[in-house]
Chain A
Amino acid sequence: MSFLLQSIFNGLLAGCIYALFAMGLTLIYGVLNFVNFAHGELIMWGAYFLYLFMGTPFGFPLPIALIPALFFTILLGIGMDRFAFKPIRQANRLTLLIAALGLSFLLRNGAQLFWGAELRTYGFEIKRGWRILNMSITINQMAIIITTLICIVIVYLLFHRSKLGKSMRAVSDNLELARVSGINTKKAIQFAWILSSALACVGGILLALDTNLQPGMGLINLVKAFAATLLGGVGNLWGALLGGIIIGLAENLGVLVISTGYKDAIAFGIMVILLLLRPPVLYGTQE
């Protein structure tokens, strides 16, 4: 097995998942101008909702269980906004950040309350990967890549070809102007949350397929999503994809050189460096 090629592949794979997270994060960042610190928990709950509906007493197969999982994650996202963020929409950003921190805490421990802190798995049969080009690729991993591509296409179409997408872009450019121009900003915001939650849910499920579930999986991936967002430019969907892949590659190639214990530190490090070198500017949704 080629050491290097496998690491590159793993990096691309992780990058796809991070891209989904980043897209979800950047949507809210763009439209509402704040970093949803609880986005990681949307990811985590999305994965756990699927676990819930695939297990007893429901026992649905994956494609069927996906529907309620998506539904509830979206509900959670909208609920988040309605109960925690909307009341302080006008407050300063620090207040929002603290509230989001508190929310993420609440949700993370909620999951731990229900499911305990131990690792859980979807329980699919373990199969040997295929040998392609001296690398090992499992069917799950192929599914992740394909799903990511499909999601990106769907989101792109929604964002750039639909009326709602246009409203979202207008709102993210300038909220007041959009409202004054007669755009239904409330609906645009709600749509942003729906889309963001859906992306988080799918991303979370794919992540859990690859590396199993635990309540702490939200936070660390939030940081990676944020780093990817910064890399690609806030509000920029293609940038999120690129940013995600760069982070994924950096992580998997980086640990060939430095100790594996610092793998997560790579994303943190990139994020910090970016913040220092390039304080985020809202680029809007132009490519």
Chain B
Amino acid sequence: MNVDLFLHLWIMILIYIIFAMSLNLEVGYTGLFNFGHVAFFGVGAYTSALLTLHQVPFELALVAALIVAGFSGFLLSIPSLKLRGDYFGIATLGFGEIIRMVFQNEVWLTKGPMGLPGIPKPVLFSYRFATLPQYLLLTIGFTILTFLVLRFVTRSPMGRVFKAIREDEVSTAALGKNIFHFKIKSFVIGSVFAGLAGTLWGHYTTFISPGDFTLLETILVLLIVVLGGKGTEWGPIWGAIVLIFFQESLRFLKLPAEWTRYLAPLQQMIFGSLLIFLMIYRPEGLIRGKGGR
């Protein structure tokens, strides 16, 4: 029995649960198709990493990461939320890629393609989360926190407006709600939690580089949300468990060296096919969203 592998799997799954829940708020509850979500994951990771590498205490770095991620979301959303539907998707995709290119090119800040190695382990109020079991505890804590906060949001009056926007924007506007403001709120909250996921991820893998924040990650988290059932509370959780389990176990499978080069593309092909399959046959995912919740 390989305990280390088991712990690693669950840490990754939990991080992606947070990431997926944040996207789910935007995509599933508010109907905003954000294809650049990985940008905020990356912004959170880079902010926290850069700060802690410069001896800023983790507690501050974490808060800073959340703020920067949320603020970036705010900045990005203002121009793009004017667009409808799929154009919003394409614009956010463009933004996501542009942010990645900034990570790649501003070497003075992010060390560009060389990435940031040796990211320190998190220290919360003098408790250092260095070993795998400790990190798992940390992640479980944040996941539960995220779940509760987002659950609160979606069940609140604000959340009801989000859902109303998803169902019928025009009528909601007619009822006097400022659609634009609500969309921004949804987007910012989603970005903050994406930043949280990114921070946890960066401190876990200890090395980040621009190549970690590509369209691939967006597709993965989108698949998780869609597979699990968008607009549901438990959808992202199941989606993450199934997909990340699959992805990470494959990574750690013992294969003869000649086969490893086929593994990654094969896995991505399965993800791609899964997306198509879902769209055609079961767009609502594993867990059907209940209307009006």
Contacts and interface: CB of A to CB of B under 8 A. Distances in A.
- Do the two chains touch directly in the complex (Cβ atoms below 8 Å apart)? yes
Interface in B73-129: 79-80, 82-87, 89-91, 94-95, 97-98, 101, 104-105
Nearest to B274: A102
Interface stretch (B147-155, B179-187, B192-200, B263-271): B263-271
Given A91-B283, A272-B91, A276-B91, A105 B272 contact: yes
Interface stretch (A46-54, A58-66, A108-116, A173-181): A108-116
Contacts of A96: 86, 279
B253 interface: no
A98 interface: yes
Contacts of A84: 276, 280
Interface residues of A, number: 43
Contacts of B271: 102, 105
A93 interface: yes
Contacts of B33: 94, 97
B165 interface: no
B279 A105 contact: no
B77 to A, nearest CB: 12
A34 B215 CA distance: 20
Interface in B272-291: 272-276, 279-280, 283
A101 interface: yes
B14 interface: no
A269 interface: yes
B94 A105 contact: no
Interface in A108-158: 108-110, 112-113, 116
Contacts of A223: 94, 97
B90 A35 contact: yes
Contacts of A57: none
B239 to A, nearest CB: 14
A106 interface: yes
B226 A109 contact: no
A79 interface: no
A35 B91 CA distance: 13
A197 B87 CA distance: 23
Contacts of B264: 109, 112
B219 interface: yes
A68 B229 CA distance: 42
A275 B91 contact: yes
B279 A102 contact: yes
A91 B280 CA distance: 9
A219 interface: yes
Interface in A259-273: 259, 261-262, 264-265, 268-269, 271-272
B261 A99 contact: no
Interface string B8-36: 00000000000000000000000001010
7 contacts: A94-B33, A96-B279, A102-B276, A103-B272, A271-B90, A271-B91, A279-B87
Given A91-B279, A105-B269, A108-B268, 7 more contacts: A99-B275, A99-B279, A102-B271, A105-B272, A109-B264, A268-B101, A272-B80
Interface of B: 33, 35, 79-80, 82-87, 89-91, 94-95, 97-98, 101, 104-105, 215, 219, 222-223, 226, 261-262, 264-266, 268-269, 271-276, 279-280, 283
